[in-house]
Amino acid sequence: SLIAQTPLKNRDQSRLLVLQRETGEMAHLHFKDVIDYLNPGDTLVLNDTRVMPARLFGLKEETGAKVEML
């Protein structure tokens, strides 16, 4: 399953997706690297909600292509 059922033992190894807004470039990092992307005055919001193990299936109206969301 692509949905995590339990947290990682070393929580700082959780995955972090970083999007450079100027270039559109994406980087796959680890949460321990988040400090490299925070500036003075930034706000970091922590989310402690749980993931509902569910899948949604659909079709794109324009192309009829199948899509799946986790």
In a domain, residue 36? The reply is: yes
Confidence of residue 66 (pLDDT cuts 50, 70, 90): very high
In a domain, residue 38? The reply is: yes
In a domain, residue 54? The reply is: yes
Domain with 27, as residue range(s), is: 11-69
pTM over 0.95: no
pLDDT at 2: 67
In a domain, residue 3? The reply is: no
Amino acid symbol at 32: K
In a domain, residue 56? The reply is: yes
- Examine the pLDDT at 65 and tell me if it is beyond 80: yes
Per-residue model confidence as pLDDT tens digits over 1-60: 666 778 888 988 888 999 999 999 999 999 999 999 999 999 999 888 877 778 899 999
What letter would DSSP give residue 66? E
In a domain, residue 4? The reply is: no
Domains in the chain, number: 1
> Got the DSSP string for 7-42?
--SSGGGSEEEEE-TTT--EEEEEGGGGGGG--TT-
